[in-house]
Amino acid sequence: MFSFNYNMDKYVLKPVAKGYNFVMPDRVQQMIDSGFDNILVVQRVVNNLLQWRPKGAGAEVGRFLINSTLGIGGLFDIAKQEFGLQEDPGRLRADPGDLGVESRAVPGAAVPPSPHRA
């Protein structure tokens, strides 16, 4: 399996990525990145709500609405450029310890091992 992945990367994916980078202007690459970033708003809103940050969730919804309408479907980040609404990407990987939740030991599995779970 390793050799398949290595060869796939070396002979297919890497040349395609280099060709894409050579052909596509940087500004177009930024626009595509902004469009995909705009799609991830649902994940960021849910994350903010689960962390009891309604203000952050509201800011993300605002960014989405501005970028989807004035930013032509999110291809331009108008919310940041014109309105100063910054994205908060660092909070996506916050764990419970960062949020002040006390850690506790997790008990072992209550189900004994079976021969089917090897």
Statement: residue 97 has pLDDT above 70: no
Which tokens go with 20?
A: 């894409």
Give the pLDDT confidence score for residue 20 in this predicted structure: 94
C-alpha–C-alpha distance, residues 73 and 60, integer Å: 15
pTM of the predicted structure, to 2 decimals: 0.64
- Give tens-digit pLDDT for 40-80: 899 999 998 998 989 989 999 999 999 999 999 899 999 98
**Residue 17 vs residues 20, 21, 23: alpha-carbon distances, Å:** 5, 6, 10
Give the pLDDT confidence score for residue 105 in this predicted structure: 57
- CB burial of 65-103 (b: ≥16 within 10 Å; e: otherwise) equals ebbbeebeebbbbbbbeeeebebeeeeeeeeeeeeeeee
**Residue 60 vs residues 9, 84, 100: alpha-carbon distances, Å:** 35, 12, 23
Q: Which helix (H) or strand (E) holds 34?
A: helix 26-39
Mean pLDDT across the stretch 105-110? 57
Which segment, 36-45, 83-92, 102-111, is predicted with the most confidence on average? 36-45
Give the pLDDT confidence score for residue 36 in this predicted structure: 92
